[in-house]
Amino acid sequence: MPRFFTLTQNDEAVMVRSPHPLAILSSAVVGGGFLHARVILNRHVSKNYDHPHPDQDLRAFAARLGVEEPFVGLMTAAYLDRTQVIELDDRGLRLALVMTAGFSNATAAGLSPPAGPEHRPLPGTINLILLLDAALSPAAMVNAVITATEAKTAAIRAWALRTPDGLPATGTSTDAVVVACTGRGEPLPYAGPATPVGHLIARAVRVGMKGARP
């Protein structure tokens, strides 16, 4: 079955393009929150990246690539040749996960101290881009973020990954999630793990995490 998006990748960036605007919810550096866009960009930066205005820097980078429209932009120090692309199709639901992962910045939510001069985050980010050929309600998109995060954290805990302080990790301090929907098909009000779409999301994240395991 043909993809409902295009994917291009090199050492500098992974770019997802859709022929039609996608309904997107994300925690991205650029385009965070709810919006409609056709382009999702995940840019590789060096492990010493420390730009004072990363959003402006990312917009300038996108412009150099010829992106002249609203977009969602992420950053990662993970090497892009290890990008995981997981595509699943079940009961008429189609989903793709485009994922990059670094684990050197592992944290334990609620236990690791906040970032600051004495606790500057190390490089390492788990970026999850979920592309769904479906019509999720805004509430379902929030639900999808929860479901994806639960699956990600479950994989990390199964590995017994530890933070630099020796705490049981739950993720990294700079993780990001993008949920992008085509809007086609029957409206889906929920995306928890008990729903078909939530089950598919969690499956994809678990497969992606397995492939990205350090």
The pLDDT value given to residue 123: 58
**Of the candidate ranges 45-49, 81-85, 188-192, the one whose mean pLDDT is the lowest:** 45-49
- Given a cut of 90, whether residue 48 has pLDDT beyond it is no
Confidence of residue 13 (pLDDT cuts 50, 70, 90): very high
pLDDT band with cut points at 50, 70 and 90 for residue 115: confident
Q: What's the whole-number mean pLDDT along residues 48-71?
A: 95
pLDDT score recorded for residue 118 = 54
Amino acid at 93: L
Contact 136, 148 (CB under 8 A): no
Parallel, antiparallel, or unpaired for β 33-44 and 71-76? parallel
The pLDDT > 70 percentage for the chain reads 96
- Mean pLDDT for 28-53 is 95
- For 40, 54, 131, 168, the CA distances from 153, given in Å and listed in that order, are 24, 26, 20, 10
Residues 130-178: pLDDT tens digits?
A: 999 999 999 999 999 999 999 999 999 999 999 999 999 999 999 999 9
The dihedral over CA atoms of 73, 75, 78, 84, expressed in degrees to the nearest 10, equals -20
CATH code: domain 6-212 is 3.60.70
**Average of pLDDT values for 172-192?**
97
Entry pTM: 0.95
Domain range list for the chain: 6-212
Residue with tokens 């382009």: 39
Query: Quick one: average pLDDT of 185-202?
Result: 97
Q: How confident is the model at residue 116 (pLDDT cuts 50, 70, 90)?
A: low
Burial 151-165 (b: 16+ CB within 10 A, else e): bbbebbeeeebebee
Q: How confident is the model at residue 214 (pLDDT cuts 50, 70, 90)?
A: confident
